[in-house]
Amino acid sequence: MDDQPGNANRTRTSVELFAGGGGLAMAVHQAGFRPLLFNEFNKRACETLVASARKTLGTDGLTVIEDVRPEPPDEGQPAPLYPADVQDLDLTAFAGRVDVLAGGPPCQPFSAGGVAKGDEDKRNMFPAMFKAIRDMRPKAVICENVRGLLRPSFADYFQYIVNELRLPHQERKDSSRWQDHDAQLRDILAALPDNDSDSDHYKVVVVPVNAADYGVPQVRNRVVIVAFRADLGVDVEAFEKQVKTPRYSEAALFRSIRNGDYWRRHPDVPDHVKARVEARVPKFVKEDDCLPWRTLRDAIAGYGTDATLPKLPPVKLDRLEEKFDFGDEIGVEHHIGWPGARIYKGHTPNELDRPAKTVKAGVHGVPGGESVMLLDDRVADPESPDGWRYLHRYMTVRETARVMTFPDEWLGSGPRGEQMRQLGNAVPVVLGEFFASAVANALAAAEASEAAAGDVLVAAR
C-alpha cells in the first residue's frame, strides 16, 4: 500500500478478534505484525480467512482449533483460528507476547440497522475485548466501530467504554449495573497522576474518521479507538496529532478535476461525463496540502492502493443474466455482473468520479443503492431534462472489494450476498494499515527513547 507511515524495522505480533473477512487482519499484517491467533464466529467468514491466509494474512495457512486455551505458535508456524464464541477463549498463554490486540466488536448494538440497543444488546462484545486485554496485557489495542458509538444518546455509555479500556483490570461484576461500575472507574481515574505509568492502565485515543480522508475510495464514517499501555512511555499526544491530521481531501479532488490531473489519469472518459462532473465543482475551492480523495473510478482502474492492480474489464450489460465472471480475462475472480439494479428516491447510485458511498452489509447481506453505480454510457431519453439517461448496474463483488482496498487475492466465501456482507462489515485495509503502522512507529519511538535514556544513565555512572 502507498502513502502509509513507515513501519518499524522489527517483527511485532498481533492477535485478531472478530476477524470477519480479514480487513483489519490484513492491515495489521501489512504494517509488519506477525499473527498469533485469529478468532471469528461466522462460518463463511472463517472459510474466507482460511482460503486467503497464505496470500493476505502473512501466515502459512491457518490451523482451525477447538481448544479454548490455545498456545501462541512459534515463528514460521501456522496461526490458529478459533471459529467459535470469543467469550469462551482463555488467552492467558499469550500474556506478555502480544504487541497489538486488534478487532472490531460487533457493531449492531450501536448501528441504526441494529436497532441501537447499545449496552442492553447481547451482541455487545466490548466486554470480550476487555477480558482479552486482561488475559494478554497487549502493548496496544486497535478497535474500529461504527460512528453510532458517538451519538449523543450513547455518550455516557461510550465514555464508559473508554473508561473500561483505560482500566481493563477493574473488572465489572456480573451483578453490577454499568452505571455503578462506571462511577467506580471515574473515581479511580480522577485519582491517577498525570504521569501515570502503571502497566495495568492504558492511555486511550478516540479518532472519528472518514475513510476517504485516509486514501480509501469510499466515504465511510467510523470511529477508531487506540490504546497504549501506560508503562511504555508512548508519546500519545504526538500519535494523536499524526492520526488526526487529514491526508486526503475533497478539495484536492476538486482541484485535480479542474486542473486536468484527474482526467489525465483517466484519458478514456467521454467528454460529456467530464462536462457533467466539472459542472459540479464549486466555484471556490479551498487550498490545502492534501492528496485528492480517491474515487470509484480510481478503484476500478487499480489506481492508488497498489500500482500492480490491473484495470478491471467492463461489465457487459447484455450479459448480466449469465452471471459471467468478466475478470477471467485478467486473472481476477468475482468480477461478476448481476441483474436487477434499480434507481429510485432514496436508492441512488454511486458516481464514478466521487468516492463510493459506504459499503454496507445489509440486513440480509444484500446492500441497497450503495451497491449500484452510474455508468459513462447513456441513451436518449426525451423525458430527461437534458434528453439523456445514464445507464446503471450493480457493482461486482470485486469492485466492492477494491472500494474496501482489499487485494485482488482476497476471495470471499459463500454466495454473492454473503461476500458483500463480509465486505460491508470489514475495515478498509488502507485505513487499518495506516493506524497499525502508526501504532508500530509509536511503540518503536517509545522503545528508542527508553533505550537512549538508559544509555545516558549508564554514561552518567
Write out the catalytic residue numbers: 107
101 φ/ψ angles, rounded to the nearest 5 degrees: -100, 120
HSE (side-chain half, CA atoms, 13 Å) at 363 = 5
Ramachandran assignment for 302, one of left (phi > 0), alpha (psi -120 to 50 degrees), beta (any other): left
Query: What Å distances lie between residue 408 and 41, 59, 110, 234, CA to CA?
Result: 24, 18, 31, 36
Provide the CA 361 distance to its chain's centre, in angstroms. 14
The residue among 450, 32, 432 whose CA lies nearest residue 235 is 450
Buried b or exposed e, range 352-375, using 16+ CB within 10 angstroms:
bbbbbbbbbbbeebebebbbbbbe
Contacts of 305 (CB under 8 A, 6+ apart): 1, 2, 215, 294, 299, 402, 405, 429, 430
Q: List, as own/partner pairs, every contact residues 450-454 make where C-beta atoms lie below 8 angstroms and the sequence separation is at least 24, other chains included.
A: 450/233
Q: How far apart are CA 298 and CA 283, in angstroms?
A: 24
145 strand-pairing partners: 223
Q: Which residue has the cell 492511555?
A: 203
User: Where do runs of H (alpha helix) occur along 406-428?
Assistant: 416-424
Provide the grid cell at 426: 470489514
DSSP state at residue 442? H
The residue among 386, 376, 410 whose CA lies nearest residue 277 is 376
34 strand-pairing partners: 13
Ramachandran assignment for 136, one of left (phi > 0), alpha (psi -120 to 50 degrees), beta (any other): alpha
Using only the alpha carbons of the chain, give its radius of gyration: 23
User: Where do runs of H (alpha helix) occur along 211-270?
Assistant: 236-244, 250-259, 261-265
